[in-house]
Structure 1
Amino acid sequence: MLALTSIWTTVLLAAAVALGPLATDMYLPALPQIGSEFGTGTDKVQLTLSLYMAGFAIAQLAYGPLADRFGRKPIMICGMILFAIASVGCALATNIETLMACRFLQALGGSAGPVLGRAAIRDIYTPREAAKILAILASMMALAPAVAPTIGGFLVTSFGWSSIFTTLAVYALLMAVVVAIGMPEPMRPEYRQPLKLCNLMRNYRHIATDVTFLGYTLTNALIFSGLFAFLSGSSFVLIDFLEVKPEHFGLYFAGIVVGYVSGNMTAVRLSSKLLPDQILVRGLLVAVAGGVIMAGLAMANVYSPWAVIIPQAIFMAGTGMVLPQTMAGALANFPRMAGSASALFGFAQMAIAAIAGALVGHLHDGTSLVMALVICGSAGLALAAYLLVVQSNPAPGFEPESASAQ
């Protein structure tokens, strides 16, 4: 077994949490082919993404309390096995309706990794330490979206879209075995919560009425919505509209991952000099700049892959600075119910992101304009949430010493 504070435990958690991004990023190059094979439109194909996000959100509400009762490790393993079974169902789907249903089931399993990964980090580290470790974990996880679209494009071109889901099934089963053998249980026995409906509802009510939790969660969910808007629309914009070849899609996608990793690494470097909230607001301003540039170019009818990728890379640099701080801030007040807090946090994140993705799919006009406007709007609303809620209700240890002493 690995030591809880070992870098290899963080690597293992990153690999487990990456299951969620892989399930979206790897099959992005396949969306146009799936629509063509099943004879359906962009809106229905995009629903396979939104339904995945909806299932991802709903399942977290169950995983959090279950993990607070039985521990992080067994629940994570069960989720990975469900993910693998559903992935096989996706690979065997013969119509869009079956694919939608299996994607929903896939999400129910895949959400175990992120919600329990966040909770495990909160189990092991203090809130300020967690912000730094989450940034490192996010940088490790960035390998998934960096290589996943390229791998997906190769699989689509060589073996067809169903091979993507076969690959995901194998990865999930492998991770279940590795977690079972290599990861210790991070939750303290004395922190286990009884699994009773009244207790669950009381815990969720306590978490949901914490203003600090609400502020960080809303900021996170809104900035994540901009990321998901790009995931929802990028394949249609780049492949259908801008005529990027599916096998080259991942190369363009890697550009935004570079931005994201740059943001994560900047957050890690700044963590010794600045407070988490100071890093957070800087990241929000960078994300807003990227959104404004993309929307401005689209409104000016400047259409090229780089008019999308470069502004999105800037947006993602800001996002890479924002996400770790908001995750750590949202969980800071709940060391004894980190699983439930992480679940509610993830539910809000995915639910709001699913709305943004559905907007992109429903309003898509064949250009990059709708996607760009949703990304820009998400960044602006995230900044507003920070200024209106987070700034006056910082997490413990996130505020300046003079403020915490008052």
Structure 2
Amino acid sequence: MLALTSIWTTILLAAAVALGPLAVDMYLPALPQIGADFNAGTDQVQLTLSLYLAGFAIAQLICGPLADRYGRKPIMIGGFLVFTLASIGCALASNIETLQLCRFLQALGGSAGPVLGRAIVRDIYTPRDAAKILALLASIMALAPAIAPTLGGFMVANLDWHWIFIVIGAYALIMAGVTAFGIPEPLKPEHRQPLRLGHLFRNYRRISTDPSFIGYTLTNAAVYGGLFAFLSGASFVLIDVLGVAPEHFGLYFAAMVAGYIIGNLGSIRIANYLMPDQILIVGLLISMAGGGIMALLAWYQIYSPWAVVIPQAVFMAGTGLALPQCMAGALANHPTMAGSASALFGFVQMAAAAVAGAIVGALHDGTPLVMATAIAACAGLALASYLLLVQRYPAKAFETGNAGA
């Protein structure tokens, strides 16, 4: 077993949390082919993504309290095994309805990694240190969406989209073993919560009525909605509308991921000079600029892959600055119920992502305009949430640097 504060533990946590991005990003280049194979429309194919996000959101509300009661490790391991079985179902699907169902089941297992990865960081570190570790974890984890679309595009071009689900199912099985034998249980016995319905409702009510939690969570959800508006529409816009080859899709996607990594690493670098909330507002302003530029280019019918990818890379640089601060801020006031707080935070985040993705899929008009407008609108909502809530109710632990690890 590794030490909880070891860099290798952070790397293993990043690999575990990366299952979520892998399950989304690797199959993005396959969406047009899946639609053709199943004779399904764009809205039906996009529903495989929205249902995944919906299942992901709902499952977090369950696995968070379970992890607060039984510990982080057993729930993570169980989630990875459920994900593996559902991935086999996706690979064997013979129609779009079966694929939609298996994607929903896949999300039920896949939610455990991200929600408990956040909780484990909160178990180990103080809130201000957690923001730095979450940014480092996100930087490592970003390698997954950088590589995944390229690998998925290669499989679509040379093998078959079914192999995408076989590969990510195998990855989940490996991560179950890594979690079991490589990461110690971080939840202290005195922090374990009773698993009674009344107690769970009281915990969720306490968390959901904390104005600081609400502010950071809504700000995060809006930014994340912009990210998933891009993920939902990117393959159709870049491949179908702008003519990018599926095997080259990952290269364009990597530019967006590079922006995210730059933002993550930048947040670590400037954390010694700025408070987390100051980093957050800088990130939101950068995301607003990226989304606004993309929407303007689309409005003036400047149709080019780079007119989408470069503004999105700017948006993602801001996102890389903002998201770790939101995560740490939302969990800062709830050290004894970090699993439940992380679950509720993740539920709102993924619900916003599902709504944004569904809107882009339903309104897609054969141009980049709908996707670009949705991204800009999400950036505007995030900035509004910050100004109206986070500024008025900041996380006090950010100022003091304590509040318990």
Q: Could you tell me the TM-score, scaled by structure 2's length?
A: 0.98
Please name the residue that 1:232 is paired with.
Answer: 232
What are the equivalent positions in structure 2 for 1:3-402 lying under 5 Å apart?
3-399=3-399
Amino acid aligned to 1:29:
P
Give the distance between the partners of 2:209 and 2:68, measured in 1 at CA: 19
1:399 Cα offset (Å): 4.2
Q: Which residues of structure 2 form unaligned runs of 5+?
A: none
Give the distance between the partners of 1:81 and 1:346, measured in 2 at CA: 20
Q: Secondary structure, in 3 states, of the residue corresponding to 1:365?
A: coil
Change (3 A) 1:400 1:199: closer
Asked whether the 8 Å contact 1:216–1:386 carries over to 2, the reply is yes
1:156 Cα offset (Å): 1.1
Amino acid aligned to 2:24:
T
Give the distance between the partners of 2:129 and 2:358, measured in 1 at CA: 36
Asked whether the 8 Å contact 2:223–2:378 carries over to 1, the reply is yes
Instruction: Please give the per-residue CA displacement for 1:165-186, whole angstroms capped at 9, x wherever unaligned.
Output: 0001110000101110110001
Asked whether the 8 Å contact 1:275–1:400 carries over to 2, the reply is no
Change (3 A) 1:302 1:400: farther
Give the distance between the partners of 1:59 and 1:41, measured in 2 at CA: 28
Instruction: Please give the per-residue CA displacement for 1:150-173, whole angstroms capped at 9, x wherever unaligned.
Output: 000011111111000000111000
Asked whether the 8 Å contact 2:68–2:340 carries over to 1, the reply is yes
Instruction: Please give the per-residue CA displacement for 1:361-397, whole angstroms capped at 9, x wherever unaligned.
Output: 0000011000000000000010000000000111023
Instruction: Please give the per-residue CA displacement for 1:229-255, whole angstroms capped at 9, x wherever unaligned.
Output: 000000000000001000000000000
Amino acid aligned to 1:70:
Y
Give the distance between the partners of 2:159 and 2:110, measured in 1 at CA: 24
Give the distance between the partners of 1:178 and 1:93, measured in 2 at CA: 29
Q: Secondary structure, in 3 states, of the residue corresponding to 1:398?
A: helix
Give the distance between the partners of 2:178 and 2:52, measured in 1 at CA: 25
1:398 Cα offset (Å): 2.5
Instruction: Please give the per-residue CA displacement for 1:289-333, whole angstroms capped at 9, x wherever unaligned.
Output: 000000000000000000000000000000000000000000000
Asked whether the 8 Å contact 1:277–1:399 carries over to 2, the reply is no
Q: Secondary structure, in 3 states, of the residue corresponding to 1:243?
A: coil
Give the distance between the partners of 1:206 and 1:28, measured in 2 at CA: 38
Give the distance between the partners of 1:8 and 1:118, measured in 2 at CA: 16
Give the distance between the partners of 2:183 and 2:370, measured in 1 at CA: 43
Give the distance between the partners of 1:178 and 1:159, measured in 2 at CA: 28
Q: Secondary structure, in 3 states, of the residue corresponding to 2:186?
A: coil
Q: Could you tell me the TM-score, scaled by structure 1's length?
A: 0.98
Amino acid aligned to 2:303:
Y
Instruction: Please give the per-residue CA displacement for 1:15-34, whole angstroms capped at 9, x wherever unaligned.
Output: 00000000000000000000
Instruction: Please give the per-residue CA displacement for 1:247-294, whole angstroms capped at 9, x wherever unaligned.
Output: 000000000011000000110001111000000000000000000000
Give the distance between the partners of 2:233 and 2:59, measured in 1 at CA: 25
Amino acid aligned to 1:386:
Y
Change (3 A) 1:374 1:129: same
Give the distance between the partners of 1:185 and 1:128, measured in 2 at CA: 22
Amino acid aligned to 2:136:
I
1:352 Cα offset (Å): 1.0
**Percent identity (aligned):** 71
Aligned length: 401
Amino acid aligned to 1:63:
C
The runs of 4+ residues in structure 1 deviating greater than 4 Å are none
Change (3 A) 1:400 1:2: closer
1:400 Cα offset (Å): 8.7
1:57 Cα offset (Å): 0.1
Moved more, 392-401 or 15-24: 392-401
Asked whether the 8 Å contact 2:333–2:397 carries over to 1, the reply is no
Give the distance between the partners of 1:272 and 1:383, measured in 2 at CA: 24
Give the distance between the partners of 1:126 and 1:356, measured in 2 at CA: 33
Q: Secondary structure, in 3 states, of the residue corresponding to 2:22?
A: helix
Q: Secondary structure, in 3 states, of the residue corresponding to 1:160?
A: coil
Q: Secondary structure, in 3 states, of the residue corresponding to 1:39?
A: coil
Amino acid aligned to 1:254:
A
Asked whether the 8 Å contact 1:65–1:200 carries over to 2, the reply is yes
Give the distance between the partners of 1:100 and 1:219, measured in 2 at CA: 29
Give the distance between the partners of 1:366 and 1:189, measured in 2 at CA: 55
1:47 Cα offset (Å): 0.3
